Amino acid sequence: MTKPIRKAVLPVAGLGTRVLPGTKMVPKELLNVVDRPILAYTVAEARAAGIEHFVFVTGRGKQAIEDYFDHHVELEAQLAAKGKTGQLDELLAELPRPGEMSFVRQMQPLGLGHAVWCARDVVGDEPFAVLLPDDIVDGETSCLKQLVDAFGQTGGNLVAVEEVPHQETRKYGVIDPAGRDGRLISMKGMVEKPSPDQAPSNLAIIGRYILQPEIFDLLSAQEKGAGGEIQLTDSMAKLMTRQPFHAYAYDGVRYDCGDKIGLLRANVALALKRPDLGAAARRAIEDLLG
Domain-wise residue ranges, the chain: 7-152+207-222+253-289
Query: What local confidence, expressed as pLDDT, does residue 24 receive?
Result: 87
The verdict on pTM exceeding 0.85 is yes
Query: Looking at residue 37, what is its pLDDT?
Result: 95
Phi–psi pair at 138, nearest 5 degrees = -100, 120
Quick one: average pLDDT of 164-172? 92
**pLDDT higher than threshold 70 for residue 201:** yes
Helix, strand and coil content of the chain, in percent to the nearest 5, comes to 40, 25, 35
pLDDT score of 112 more than 80: yes
Task: Assign domain 7-152+207-222+253-289 one CATH number from 3.30.70.1560, 2.40.30.10, 3.60.15.10, 3.90.550.10.
Answer: 3.90.550.10
Q: Please state which of the ranges 98-102, 144-148, 208-212, 270-274 shows the lowest mean pLDDT.
A: 98-102
Instruction: Work out the angle at residue 27's Cα, subtended by the Cα atoms of residues 22 and 30, and round it to the nearest 5 degrees.
Output: 90
Q: What is the pLDDT of residues 88-111, one digit of tens each?
A: 998 898 888 888 999 999 988 888
Q: What would the mean pLDDT of 120-135 be, rounded to a whole number?
A: 96
Can you name the residues that pair with 179 across neighbouring β-strands? 186
DSSP state of 204: E
The pLDDT, as a whole number, for residue 265 is: 96
When pLDDT is averaged across residues 5-31 and rounded to a whole number, the result is 91
Percent over 90 (pLDDT), the chain: 78
* Length of the chain as a residue count: 290
Closest CA to 113 of 227, 200, 257: 227
What's the chain's Rg over C-alpha atoms?
Answer: 19
Report strand pairing: 203-211 vs 101-105: unpaired
pLDDT for position 23: 87
pLDDT of 1 strictly over 70: no
131-147 average pLDDT score: 95
Query: Considering only 1-5, 223-227, 271-275, which range has the smallest mean pLDDT?
Result: 223-227
CB-CB contact of 160 with 209 (8 Å): yes
Nearest to 225 by CA among 111, 116, 108: 111
pLDDT at 25: 87
